[in-house]
Amino acid sequence: MGYIQTLVITCIIVLNLSSEIASTTTTKSTGAPPRLRENDPTVESIKVKEGSKLKLRCRALGNPRPYTVWYKDGERLKTRNNDRLKVNKNSLLITQPREEDSGQYSCHRENQFGEAWKNYTLIVKNEKPIVDKNVDCEKVGPPQFKDKGELNEWIARPSQASVDFKCSVCGSPEPNITWYVGDRQINSAVSGGKYKVKRKISLVVEGLTKKDATEYTCVAQNEHGFINHTFELKVIDRVLTKPVIHGPVNQTVTYMDDVKFECKVVMSDLQPHIQWLKHYQVNGSFENENEDPYVHIIQV
């Protein structure tokens, strides 16, 4: 008759640049942590027009059924006394969305066995009517905007994305276009770098950070006069989520037999670092008086 030895093994996943830690231990054997349904991405970007109907879905499986909390820009979403926001079992409904509804939305599904996150970057655009459809670009005079419908005053983009400001103008003689970031003029003759001017009418800013959230202005001028337009850029931080892992699972083996534990990283926003820990007892307890576990690091 063989002897049975009980071990407690923990797999810890640590993300660089983040203090978040996701862990699973072999001591829990019932129930299942929340997980998003197959083919549901963890991050989505959505653009809608003001006044439309919008539903952000957050479908997750788990046992017991996960509890749901919605966040906007890192803060818990307040739906009380707001008739336009309604939280259902698997979705957030936004009726008549407005520009101020733009931002980073996060759905947190949690039960006692774990958690799952789904993130949305929402951009609500105020579609203004296009005017001056019959602009006469051959007429001698000051510059004119070809399409005022593309001159949004307010633009939102997620961090690390890019933005393309367009300033389509015409006039006779042909106007010269100058771009400004705040009060600083951009040198369109310099290639590469943070700012790229394309065919004079377009300014591209790549790798957006919070520092890029400011005003951008195009000025078109010829000998008969000038026109200008200012864009306000808002950069929305993306919320990093904990990694999704599978395993390890409980195993029972006879004395001197081999055993293999697997800890698979299913999804992670950043490159994970994996540690294996072996728990041990002191005076019959796996934890000290501060509830910190007794562990040996067996792999780094």
pLDDT digits (tens, 9 = 90+) for 244-253: 777 777 888 8
Query: At residue 224, does pLDDT exceed 80?
Result: yes
Query: At residue 300, does pLDDT exceed 70?
Result: no
Pair of tokens at residue 67: 């509890």
CB 204 within 8 Å of CB 184: no
Q: Token pair 């003001």 is at which residue?
A: 50
Q: Give the type of residue at 56.
A: L
pLDDT band with cut points at 50, 70 and 90 for residue 181: very high
Q: What is the pLDDT of residue 127?
A: 61
pTM for this entry: 0.43
Concatenate the DSSP letters of all residues of 61-123 into one string. EEESPPEEEEEETTEE---TT-TTEEE-SSEEEEES--GGG-EEEEEEEEETTEEEEEEEEEE
Q: What is the pLDDT of residue 67?
A: 87
243 occurs within a structural domain:
no
Neighbouring CB atoms inside 10 A of 97's CB total 22
Handedness of CA 70, 72, 74, 79 (dihedral sign): negative
Q: Are residues 261 and 184 in the same domain?
A: no
Q: Are residues 21 and 62 in the same domain?
A: no
Comparing C-alpha atoms, which of 5, 11, 8 is closest to residue 248? 11
Q: Are residues 225 and 293 in the same domain?
A: no
Q: Are residues 175 and 231 in the same domain?
A: yes
CATH of the domain at 168: 2.60.40.10
Q: What total number of domains does the chain contain? A: 3
Query: At residue 52, does pLDDT exceed 50?
Result: yes
Q: For 293, which DSSP code? A: B
Q: What is the pLDDT of residue 196?
A: 87
- Structural domain for 283, as ranges: 1-26+248-300
Q: Are residues 92 and 34 in the same domain?
A: yes
Tell me the per-residue pLDDT of 118-147, one tens digit each, with 9 for 90 and over. Answer: 999 888 877 654 445 567 788 888 998 887
Q: Are residues 177 and 257 in the same domain?
A: no
